[in-house]
Amino acid sequence: MNLSAREIALNILYEIFENGAFSNITIKKHLVEGLDHKEEGLIREIVYGVLENDIYINYIISKASKIKLKKIHPVILIILKIGVYQLIFIDRIPPSAAVNESVNLAKKHGHKGTIGFVNGILRNISRNKDEFMKIEVKDKIDYISIKYSHPKWMIKRWIKDYGDEFTEELCRKNNESPELNIRINTLKTNKDELKERLIDYGFIVKDGIYARDSLIIENPVRITELPEFKKGHFIIQDESSTLVGQIMDPISGSTVVDLCSAPGGKATHLAQIMNNKGKILSRDIYEHKIRLIEENARRLDINIIETSISDATKRDESLVNIADYLLLDAPCSGLGLIRRKPEIKRNRREEDIDELVKLQYDILNNVKDYLKIGGILIYSTCTIEKDENINLINKFLEKNKNFKLVNIEDKIKNKQDITTLKSGYIQLFPHIHNTDGFYIAKIIKER
């Protein structure tokens, strides 16, 4: 039976809200063959739109409903969210269509009472849209939380670390869809050649801002179906992540240890920089993640990556003093990825951060001996939390005087809006650098 785009969106959102599923994986699972580009686009727009604006949508529904949100059946509540999102955010969809399609979903998944409930609430919001859209709170944190649908604990932390205006701009940017970045596999092609081919296919292509091997694709519809992708001419990788390899800049023939390596984007880039000569020991804790590294390496025709299952919290004596370069892309809160995975706002808890900081520090302390004297350590995360980044590195350096941050000025092609290169690290933000929120520190083991 063919499902409508809105019903597929409903099924996806139910899995995310009720089971804590990841948006990207769940969308991929539910997109059936035969969907045209418009239907697929609407599904993605509704799913990501509801996730991005969930607190604001809940606020609007709670103003319109006499029944408290937690007492509304989860499926009916998601149907309401889909309807409200279309009424408030998608101008091209007529209000009547947004209401009627939601009522049709209620007919299928509810009963006579819920049909009338959905119809009444959505028609009321449609008729009095401007009134329902008003945010009537005085507290600054409450206002930002509702307007940009970020939990209050996140906003409090960011205001403390970065200030009010910075935090509001960051939250606003977190609700925008990111552009897709790809990394060119220079072992098989070059930037000009790949760019020309992509433009011929009809893609809008720009050079990356900071990373030499990055291209920005503004209309990336089904880009992974291209022959060039299947032949390994490029990989999907955000520019921030691509900078890890660029900043490490390993010499051809070196030995690199890459911990927490999956899905292999950074490892394959390091191999590319090394001209596929040397050795990269890629480690991860799960077998299915190891397979992802191997699949990417095969597609990109890279053969210097050796994979094995390993727990980075446990010392591996076979790795002691063997690494010219060590990459720790640490497990983190992922708060720099909210544009790509808006469910993070819902699923992440503040107490997770303290647990992650302890884990990160334990891993860092555990793996530091894998480096040779004179070796380079790269510590990276996809978060903007100071406790997981600069504060953690400062604590590590204070207790390990033989390690020191290295000037990375010569590693970035465009230094615009980056002021910490001399200090040996960068902290990227979505609203300033138009990348994922990302931290990279380059550290040398001096003795």
Residues with catalytic function: 382
- Angstrom distance (rounded) from CA 140 to CA 142: 5
**Token pair of 238 as six digits:** 């955000």
How many helices and strands (H and E) does the chain possess? Answer: 20, 12
Q: Rg of the Cα trace of the chain? A: 24
* DSSP codes joined into one string, 336-387: T-TTT-TTHHHH--HHHHHHHHHHHHHHHHHHGGGEEEEEEEEEEES---GG
Backbone dihedral angles phi then psi of residue 427, each to the nearest 5 degrees: -125, 115
β-bridge mates for residue 377, sequence order: 326, 443
Measured CA angle at 42 (ends 201, 337), to 5 deg: 80
User: Residue 288 carries which side chain, given as an amino acid letter?
Assistant: H
Here the tokens at position 277 are 């000569």
The amino acid at residue 374 is G
214-217 and 205-207 as β-strands: parallel, antiparallel, unpaired? antiparallel
Rounded Cα–Cα distance for residues 340 and 338 (Å): 5
- H or E element that contains 77: helix 74-89
Question: Residue 225 is encoded by which pair of tokens?
Answer: 């179906």
3-state secondary structure of 93: coil
Phi first, then psi: what are they for 75, rounded to 5°?
-65, -45
d(CA 338, CA 171): 9
Residue 434 and residue 270 in contact, taking contact as beta carbons nearer than 8 Å: no
* Residue that the structure tokens 């100071």 belong to: 386
